[in-house]
Amino acid sequence: MSLYASKAAARAADIGARNRIVIAFVNNMPDAAIKSAERQFRGLLNAAAGDLDVVLKGYYCTSVPRSDIARSTFLQPYQEVNELWDSQIDGLIVTGAEPRAENITDEPVWPLLDRLIDWAEDHTISTIWSCMAAHAAVFKLSGVARKPLTSKLSGLFQCSKTIEHCLTDGTPESWFVPQSRFNGLPEDELAAGGFEPLTRLEAGYDSFIKQRKSLFVFFQGHPEYDPESLLLEYIRDVKRFCEGQSEIYPEPPVGYFDRETLQQLEDLRAQASQQREPESFFAVSRLLKGHQINNVWRSPSTIIFQNWLKYLAREKARM
């Protein structure tokens, strides 16, 4: 190889390395949602990547209760989270999990999150904490504890951009974002703890940040969700009620169904409340099969993740 060709190859390799963004993905979702959560985040990152070469590496935590099938199938491409500590990554995404305890420190995933939050500050350019992981990181950093909501917050809720920040460059002033959670964080306590809101709902912060050694980004909502994600969660929760696993018949996701569908769901709810039986669940499943939802949050979500990837690339180039 000539000297010119060698230098050209070296420059190309350097450009390739600078354009490559390595992201660790710690997936704490329940067994049934492991693959869908990965698909959702991967799809959003791919849509946002542009000219960047985004590499997503999956990790799992052994303290999260798993079935044998999940361990032998869904988690096969993943590495145990202990393999992460010596890894070289640029960014990190940590998912939430279904709440199992009243206090965040009693959740099975807490010991991992406790260590991961400290590690992420020193070993990432930026980390995204999603849903319950966001609540855990906020508690670790400031002592602000999640508070139970009067009922599950499920549906599409309008959020508004609150500050000018590189992560929200190019987004509209407001849009709808999926929410699916039983807990929230008090807005006044977040403000006192130094967390800056990127977007907020009528009830409080939706997404927010805290700049430490690493830029920590917190999502209480789910910008990564597919159009049918809330629908499938609703059907799952109806099934739990009909099978006696839950004493609460779920409310339909807000802003998700048309008036006629809502009336039919209310009729089915009345029937199921009188007599729990599998047919009540099957009736809801049949009604909602193939129901079309317009993914109005995809575009602004892609912009935010595109801005996040650009931030990672920009800060990586400065190192």
Q: Which two tokens stand for residue 298?
A: 């995809």
Query: Could you give the CA distance from residue 202 to residue 18 in angstroms, rounded to a whole number?
Result: 40
- 53 vs 10, 46, 163, 168, 169, CA distance in Å? 18, 9, 29, 22, 21
Q: Verify whether residue 224 is a known catalytic residue.
A: yes
Point out the catalytic residue in the list 107, 123, 135, 224: 224
Q: Verify whether residue 135 is a known catalytic residue.
A: no
Task: Name the amino acid, one letter, at 244.
Answer: G
Pure H helices in the chain? 3-19, 34-49, 68-69, 110-123, 132-142, 187-192, 229-242, 259-274, 278-288, 298-318
Query: Could you give the CA distance from residue 16 to residue 10 in angstroms, rounded to a whole number?
Result: 10
DSSP state of 212: S
DSSP assignment of 91-151 equals: EEEE------SSSGGGSTTHHHHHHHHHHHHHH-SEEEEETHHHHHHHHHHH-PPPEEEEE
Start-to-end Cα distance in the chain = 31
Point out the catalytic residue in the list 61, 131, 159, 242: 131
Point out the catalytic residue in the list 123, 159, 222, 233: 222
DSSP state of 167: G
Pairing of strands 79-80, 53-60: parallel
Crossing angle of the two packed helices 229-242 and 278-288, in degrees rounded to 10: 170
For 233-251, the three-class secondary structure string (H helix, E strand, C coil) is HHHHHHHHHHCCCCCCCCC
Q: Verify whether residue 131 is a known catalytic residue.
A: yes
DSSP state of 252: P
Mind telling me the catalytic residues? 131, 222, 224
